[in-house]
Structure 1
């Protein structure tokens, strides 16, 4: 009996840990973020409820095409708590992704969110990489109306494989999902990672690492 109770306790603790692995449930109707607060918390402090307006829950602009005249052919328009204060404590956010013909949203991760996307226009290739030691690429070509999900924390990408601009809408399971673009993080960190470290990690010549750093 004692052994059985011990097993039940371990399972309960596991579920308890999973509960707090993501953003906690709200304990009130809403907690609109107060951008003027100087209080540091894990998230945003609440605005005085008497000062809340409808615009705190409103964002306009996802119908507008982003500027994709850049080397990546990419523009991401975020709707996180920074743009929409009413998202605070609700655990969700959105993005619009515009991709020029053959443009790419390069390999990146969202450390705090799973992402689900739907294609509004165009055809894109998507993929994510499973974790070590498998490192398997899960990839698919998507068309208008198709939906795909990227599990939290995994490296993923989107690429336009058509001759017309593509538009994607994404939803994320965090008010502030974050984004770590692999190339920027590895070759463009501030201060920079030692070229000796990166040369050994990637098993290439140090001169190549220095060239890559120059691009980021």
Structure 2
């Protein structure tokens, strides 16, 4: 519109206004369904991102536990070295064997505690590894569901342009497949 209040409609303006204010039930249904699919797709996308983050966090926790277990095994090895030196010292002439026997027993006891800690940390690492794999599988399901919904939205747009009823049903079918995949993700299948 110009400053003087005079406005000239372009050749397509009338058609746009007619489409916007007309009673095209077919287009209205497709538009509403597309909006619903986009909303559902956003939820699937959120869940997919959340499970991907979970998988990464579990993988990180597994790596931390593996490092802690490695530290414990190194500590175990150092105690073994000290025990071996004490056992070697027993064979040297002129040493007090009671002192070294007590050290050997202490190192054996300490090694058992260290070994239990290391094995427990390895078990935790394995558990986090399994959780990561499960979360990543669930993420893939959410991603598949989201992809199906995106394809359904694309089919809905093509349906709107071509006015083909079979494409509308195809769009609904692919959206339904997306919902089935989302249910599988939700159930961890």
- Name the TM-score class by shorter chain: under 0.3
Task: Name whichever structure is richer in helix by fraction.
Answer: 2
Larger Rg: 2
Normalising to structure 2: TM-score of the pair? Answer: 0.19
**Which structure has the highest strand share of the two?**
1
TM-score computed with the length of structure 1 as normaliser: 0.17
Which has the bigger relative contact order, CA under 8 A and spacing at least 6? 2
